[in-house]
């Protein structure tokens, strides 16, 4: 296992410890953002490339709107925009049909013996 994969593997623990420390100092509200490091870790260390997709755009809009607006209803009912994700994929089917195949794939998992 190379150092990049080790960093990705330890990210949930580091995020949890950072959140607990921030909550101890009464900074839990902005502190929950450290949990965003968990899905972002593979992109930050260069294992994967960011693929812009509709769910990523919706999640970004939701978080930005929730943090930077001062309305009382910013988080709720703001979550309703997530209901547009299945509607989008019904209207615009995904180009990658691998999720709809029912055949066995032997090359799905990479060999980490390097």
Whether 106 shows a pLDDT value over 80: the answer reads no
- Give the per-residue pLDDT at 14: 96
Q: What is the pLDDT of residues 10-66, one digit of tens each?
A: 999 999 999 999 999 999 888 888 998 998 999 999 998 887 889 989 999 998 888
pTM of the model: 0.56
Share of the chain above pLDDT 90, in %: 44
Answer yes or no: is pLDDT of 112 > 90: no
Give me the residue spans of the domains in the chain: 1-48, 51-100
CB 41 within 8 Å of CB 11: yes
Cis peptide upstream of residue 91 (ω within 30 degrees of 0): no
Residue closest to 36 by CA, chosen among 54, 55, 19, 58:
19
Q: Which residues touch 81 (CB under 8 Å, ≥6 apart)?
A: 58, 61, 62
State the CB neighbour count (10 A cutoff) for residue 60. 11
């Amino acid at each position: 296992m190379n150092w990049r994969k080790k960093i990705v593997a330890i990210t949930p623990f580091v995020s949890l410890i950072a959140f607990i420390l921030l909550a101890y100092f009464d900074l839990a509200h902005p502190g929950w953002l450290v949990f965003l490091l968990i899905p972002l870790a593979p992109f930050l260390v260069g294992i994967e490339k960011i693929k812009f997709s509709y769910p990523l755009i919706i999640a970004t809009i939701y978080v930005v709107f929730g943090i930077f607006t001062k309305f009382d209803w910013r988080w709720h009912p703001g979550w309703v925009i997530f209901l547009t994700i299945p509607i989008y994929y019904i209207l615009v089917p995904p180009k990658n049909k691998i999720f709809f195949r029912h055949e066995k794939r032997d090359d799905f998992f990479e060999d980490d013996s390097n």
